[in-house]
Amino acid sequence: MQLHTDFSQRVVIPSADLPWVDSPMAGVHRRLLERDGEEVARATSIVRYAPGSAFSPHTHSGGEEFLVLDGVFSDEHGDYPVGTYVRNPVRSTHTPSSREGCTILVKLWQMHPDDQRRVAVETAQATWVPGLVKGLQVMPLHSYGTENVALVKWAPGTEFQPHKHWGGEEIFVLDGVFEDEFGTYPQGSWLRSPSGSRHTPFSRAGCTIYVKTGHLPEPETV
């Protein structure tokens, strides 16, 4: 399967409008945001675990990154309540499940093989730091090479300066409404902007977003 695999193109998806697709395991369903491959694939998805569901033991040959959107996700390493951010590095193994049910934003096969630090951050307990402009708060989650991952909280009426994203930018709106000159993006919106793209973001109502930058390939030149 190839879905939104052209990284030179901007993609905007209101994820709540997508259908749930069956996974190989009963009770586990997905909304597909991007995918290059079949069951083993570079992928970004929203995955929903029904209460009591589980996935079989497996190895993440390309690494796994996820953010718990609701409920409690579990594996043999622990329980991860809503808001927890986890990175399982390349070649890590686990057996995921959820006793009460949960929904997670998941990214697969998108890690550098040398990035071997496992990360688990309970964002509900972590510290926000001031952003670059008044009204912004940032919670750094991970950094490796040019890649940076963070949560960013926008107070109502906050505006950011125009800027360019070398290495691209990816956003998932966790709450509120995020905006720029190209559109308005409510809770559940997923945006992927190519390397070299520019925009001037703001939020009239306020919002919280997951942001990843510096991880997309540079556009090919002819």
Give the whole-angstrom CA distance, residue 142 versus residue 56. 27
User: Distances in Å between the alpha carbon of 207 and those of 4, 105, 106, 203?
Assistant: 26, 17, 21, 7
pLDDT of 222 reads 37
Q: Are residues 109 and 162 in the same domain?
A: no
* pLDDT digits 0-9 by tens, 25-82: 899 999 999 999 878 789 999 999 999 999 888 888 899 999 999 999 999 999 999 9
pLDDT at 53: 95
Residue 12 lies in a domain: yes
Q: Are residues 86 and 15 in the same domain?
A: yes
Final residue in a domain of this structure, among 122, 138, 167: 122
One-letter-per-residue 3-state SS of 172-212: EEEEEEEEECCEEEECCEEEEECCCEEECCEECCCEEEEEE
- Mean pLDDT in residue range 1-25: 95
- Domain count for the chain: 2
Predicted confidence (pLDDT) per residue in 163-222, tens digit? 999 999 999 999 999 999 999 999 999 999 999 999 999 999 999 999 999 999 876 643
Separation CA 4–CA 24 (nearest Å): 22
Q: Which domain covers residue 18, as residue numbers?
A: 2-122
Domain annotation covers residue 222: no
The verdict on residue 218 lying in a domain is: no
> Looking at 122, 156, 174, which one is the last position of a domain?
122
220 part of a folded domain? no
* CATH assignment of the domain containing 181: 2.60.120.10
* pLDDT of 153 over the 90 cut: yes
Q: Which residues contact 38 (CB under 8 A, 6 or more apart)?
A: 1
